[in-house]
Amino acid sequence: MHPLAGRQVTKMNGLGNEIVILDLRATAGVVDAAMVRAIGRGDGLGFDQLMVLRDPRCAGTEAFVQIYNSDGSEAGACGNGTRCVAWYLMRSTSRETLKVETAAGLLQCWRRDEWRFAVDMGVPHMSWQEIPLREAVPDTSAIALSFAADAPPLMAAMVNMGNPHAIIFVDDLARFDLAAIGPKLEHHSLFPERANISLAQVVAADHIVVKVWERGAGITRACGSAACATLVAAARKRLSARTATISLPGGDLAITWRDDDHVVMEGPVELEFETTLDATLFADAPA
């Protein structure tokens, strides 16, 4: 039998960002891209991100979290998924705070109430090497990106918030087809690790409306790291304050770029169901 068969998984969402949590702490289980895609084929288990919990590597943390996109590729950060993980780890306890590890670093999490959590997403990175870009550019807050021979380039601001993000500020979101633009820019030659693509409309100094194409997942109802990257890019360009509501198709996130340079994201989570993985899912996935 496949080692993941019979394992319990928890299906959640953060603002409609579909999350599955697989707890492999205290096991030597291995997860690869084929297994990730197999899990997503489970009944009701279609996800934007799979959060795999591993034993902690650092003292004082609860788990090391590996993050996978629905296509099986790995991500460095997932804000909505981290809030779901915080709920999972604090459930049935009186704890109000904890830390988890990710490929992007240590993340502090706080419980605001039963279904609302905040996450310190860390420090944004904006140099071309840190994003990363394939070549040096004079200003990462204003990069012309071409996506079609018959269309003018779009100006993007680049921010790495655990994942590389390109944020394109527009006057009217309805004028742009993200489903057409997103996949082309995700794979733009400038991005050696691909990029998340966001269209953002600044409504007021404290309110920005955003739509996101996530690398490896496509259009999602919400993306926490994109919301953080958008706030940083807008404040850097003096389009917004350092605290704002970021409205995504799934709902609102409160984002603050603190004076210590850390970005804090706050928003709700929802438990959908818990189930076990059926062995038939892994018929074509190697053990």
Positive or negative, the CA dihedral 117, 169, 241, 121 is: positive
Instruction: Please tell me which residue in 78, 84, 109, 228 is annotated as part of the active site.
Output: 78
Amino acid at 203: V
Beta bridge partners of 247: 209, 252
Choice among 58, 84, 109, 223 that is catalytic = 223
110, 118 contact by CB (below 8 A): yes
Which of 123, 129, 120 is closest to 100 using CA atoms?
120
**Contact call for residues 223 and 82 (beta carbons, < 8 A):** no
Tell me, yes or no, if 228 is annotated catalytic: no
Q: Do residues 9 and 21 lie in contact, with contact meaning Cβ atoms separated by under 8 Å?
A: yes
78 labelled catalytic:
yes
Between CA 277 and CA 45 the distance in angstroms is 10
The neighbour count for residue 270, using CB atoms within 10 Å, is 14
Q: Active-site residues: which are they?
A: 78, 223
